[in-house]
Amino acid sequence: MKKITVIVRNLPFNTRRNAEALRMSVGLTLREDKVTVIFIDDGIYSVTPMKPECINLSSLDREFGALKMLKCCLLADKPSIEKRGIKELIENIKLADREEIVRTMNESDIIIPF
């Protein structure tokens, strides 16, 4: 079993990249590999409560639901959150300090920045 880490670091609304990163993460579990998704820099806005339907964008709820069901680890970078003054995250997201983020990356067999 490999450890695969996907890094999401872009804003969620000006691109489909973040949604595709989550869809890819779900797909990567199909061979029983351990998938971790790290939200860092502007990517952490993807794990804040939001209403994308207000600007006619599709929600990420389905992807997050699948990742939760598959027991994937979802980490939010604490310094990125503090820098942006974010107070609330969606459920099942683990707040991780920079040390844990680095340790997760170091222990990964594959890292995919998306």
Partner 1 sequence: MKLGILLTTSPENENTNTVIAISKAAREEGHEVSIFLMYDGVYNVNKKEFAELAGKGVDIAICAFNAEQRKISKVDGILFGSQYDHACIASDVDRFISFG
List contacts with partner 1 (CB under 8 A): 2, 4, 16-17, 20, 23-24, 26-33, 109-114
Whether 106 contacts 5, CB under 8 Å: no
The 10 Å Cβ neighbour count of residue 99 is 9
Between residues 28 and 96, which has the closer beta carbon with respect to partner 1?
Answer: 28
- Is the Cβ of residue 15 or residue 59 nearer to partner 1 in the bound state? 15
Output the smallest distance, CB 49 to partner 1, in A: 26
The minimum distance between CB 63 and partner 1, in angstroms, equals 12
**Between residues 52 and 86, which has the closer beta carbon with respect to partner 1?**
52
Minimum distance of partner 1 from residue 91's CB (angstroms): 25
| DSSP state for residue 93 in the 8-state scheme | P
C-alpha distances in Å from residue 53, one per residue of 41, 79, 113: 23, 28, 26
| C-alpha 104: how far from chain center | 13
